[in-house]
């Protein structure tokens, strides 16, 4: 029997995310660090969190947001690696500038 998790309220998701950030708060000193960690979590690529922190520091946030929203708009079943698709889209966006 397949059971699925019931939908979670967005407010509950935010509360859980805030708790995670509070646990890591002593390590986060700048906004770009928090954004980089959020990217790593969204892309389910925690192993490369330092890469996302560096991207958040050195890359325009609007480009990162566009690439992230591109990933979120994709069908989960068609994506093999969110991180790989994110990096491809980011490279494509950088080349258009």
pLDDT digits (tens, 9 = 90+) for 18-71: 887 777 666 778 899 999 999 999 999 999 999 999 999 999 999 999 999 999
In this prediction, residue 47 carries a pLDDT of 94
In this prediction, residue 43 carries a pLDDT of 94
In this prediction, residue 2 carries a pLDDT of 58
Q: Are 57 and 32 in contact (CB under 8 A)?
A: yes
pTM metric for this prediction = 0.71
Q: In this predicted model, which residue has the larger pLDDT, 13 or 52?
A: 52
Cβ within 8 Å of residue 55, ≥6 positions away: 36, 39, 64, 90
DSSP 8-state code for residue 80: S
Residue 47 to residue 81: CA distance in whole angstroms: 13
Q: In the chain, which residue ranges form alpha helices assigned H by DSSP?
A: 10-24, 31-42, 49-58, 61-73, 82-96
């Amino acid at each position: 029997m397949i059971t699925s998790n019931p939908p979670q309220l967005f407010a509950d998701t935010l509360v859980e995310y805030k708790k995670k950030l509070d646990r890591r708060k002593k390590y986060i000193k700048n906004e770009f660090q928090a954004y980089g960690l959020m990217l790593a979590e969204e892309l389910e690529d925690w192993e490369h969190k330092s890469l996302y922190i560096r991207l958040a520091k050195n890359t325009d946030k609007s480009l990162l947001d566009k690439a992230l929203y591109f990933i979120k708009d994709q069908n989960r079943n068609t994506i093999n690696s969110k991180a790989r698709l994110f990096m491809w889209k980011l490279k494509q966006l950088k080349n258009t500038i």
